[in-house]
Chain A
């Protein structure tokens, strides 16, 4: 199996450990990732709030790069915001030739064009559908059977495009987590919003959402995420959220491939655990014990 790989800007900075662990996990599964050469930003949430055409042209540029290379049929995207932006291009231009021609007029400036036919896939889609839990459990060397894990999906890998999971009660992570030996933390916050960029512009609102998610995760050893925005919101603002909620909301927040990598016996360095901001003492103890 091979996929084009679009890491996106966060995976070069604040979500380095997501990039490191995704590559390490895929390599352990003998899946080839072809990183798009010269990829650029997908526009995040900034382009959609600025202009419709810009919000499609920025992700389309990356799809066009993949088409030009013609070495795989699908693009794997770990970041949910990047995924949605790229997916919008696939979905919208696929049924609107006039829109496609406008996008291509813009891409001509870069000597690129989109013709269609490439499929955009979220990392969780590929992990749960193409790889599946049985293949994961075969490679487990270090059972995590003393851990309880809260699967956190966030929004944009689930909605608005229903591609691989139920958008109201998502469960696609559960078999993968159970394959490591861990138990699922039962909660209803898995598909709730973390506040996204509110933490930068409307912190008073964002902190309420973050605090309620961290609070509902109590009893779990870690939250597992599949989006850099969700991860940093839950990982980086725990002190503020604790002050807001007037209780201790300390929690380890991992990326899904980090957890799977640990179960494969990969080292902390190989899954980039040194980059996570909040790894609790309790979690470390279980890891070492």
Chain B
């Protein structure tokens, strides 16, 4: 298999030191034959602006702006049907996760809500080792800065509290239980 050819930097131009994170992803899905099995298998395809098949084509074409403005990979719920059925055996679900990682690092506005959701979840884990569901939802709502989103969840929150499944948890920083592990992972991640 030939590696994907990437455009050279313009002649005389300065090559940027930061490699394009999309290149590794293009290599992984290079063997895609555009058969559409992924689209036919995806439970969320009905809500996507680009079907999974079309999105993989955008990836291979390097159409970054269209790609990161689309909701397609954001709507991947990791059911692994496409990975299971892909006739080329491509790791599609994992690659969807990697697209989410790039969107998170580059702060693309379309992905803001999901990125904040994940970030606040991990913040709770970093502090306590285990996620405190109510603390994490409180952090998430605060970070959204939208007073209406919490209202959507208030009835459920009250039912869960009524059942004694969750209690009010005021966000607390404490000793930051997994700080060292998180830092080391971030450090190695930057070297990748």
Contact = CB atoms under 8 A, between A and B. Distances in A.
B93 A50 contact: no
A110 B179 CA distance: 10
Interface residues of B, number: 55
A50 B101 contact: yes
A54 B133 contact: no
Given A49-B104, A50-B101, A41 B184 contact: no
Interface stretch (B12-20, B51-59, B123-131): B123-131
Interface stretch (B31-39, B41-49, B60-68): B41-49
Nearest to B125: A41
Contacts of B159: 236, 277
A35 interface: no
A278 to B, nearest CB: 10
B81 A14 contact: no
Interface in B112-126: 113-114, 117-119, 121-122, 125
Contacts of A109: 180-181, 183-184
Contacts of A108: 184
Given A16-B165, A197-B77, A54 B129 contact: no
A57 B89 CA distance: 26
Nearest to B77: A196
B184 A159 contact: no
B144 to A, nearest CB: 10
24 contacts: A9-B131, A9-B133, A10-B133, A13-B134, A41-B130, A48-B100, A49-B97, A50-B118, A52-B98, A54-B182, A58-B181, A156-B78, A158-B80, A159-B83, A160-B83, A160-B84, A160-B93, A168-B84, A193-B43, A193-B44, A198-B77, A201-B113, A209-B44, A275-B164
Interface of B: 43-44, 46-47, 74-75, 77-81, 83-84, 93-94, 97-98, 100-101, 104, 113-114, 117-119, 121-122, 125, 129-134, 140, 152, 156, 159-160, 163-166, 177-178, 180-186, 188-189, 192
Interface of A: 9-10, 12-14, 16, 38-41, 43-55, 57-58, 61, 102, 105-110, 155-156, 158-160, 167-168, 192-193, 195-198, 200-205, 208-209, 236-237, 274-275, 277
Contacts, number: 162
A52 B100 CA distance: 11
Contacts of A197: 77, 117
A198 to B, nearest CB: 6
Nearest to B46: A208
A40 B177 contact: yes
A207 B94 CA distance: 24
B83 to A, nearest CB: 5
B114 A57 contact: no
B112 to A, nearest CB: 10
Contacts of B83: 159-160
Nearest to B178: A40
Contact of B181 (A48, A110, A159, A200): A110
A236 to B, nearest CB: 6
A159 B84 CA distance: 7
Task: Tell me if B's interface is mostly helix, strand, loop or mixed.
Answer: helix
A52 B184 contact: no
B93 A46 contact: no
A277 B122 CA distance: 27
Given A50-B101, A205-B44, 5 more contacts: A13-B134, A14-B165, A40-B129, A51-B186, A58-B178
Contacts of A61: 181
Contacts of B104: 49-50
Contacts of B192: 52-53
B27 to A, nearest CB: 15
Contact of A58 (B101, B125, B132, B183): B125
B186 A54 contact: yes
Nearest to B71: A202
Contact of A53 (B156, B180, B188): B188
A80 B93 CA distance: 16
A215 to B, nearest CB: 15
B80 A155 contact: yes
Contacts of B180: 109-110
Contacts of B178: 40, 58
A82 B134 CA distance: 19
A57 B166 contact: no
A106 B118 contact: no
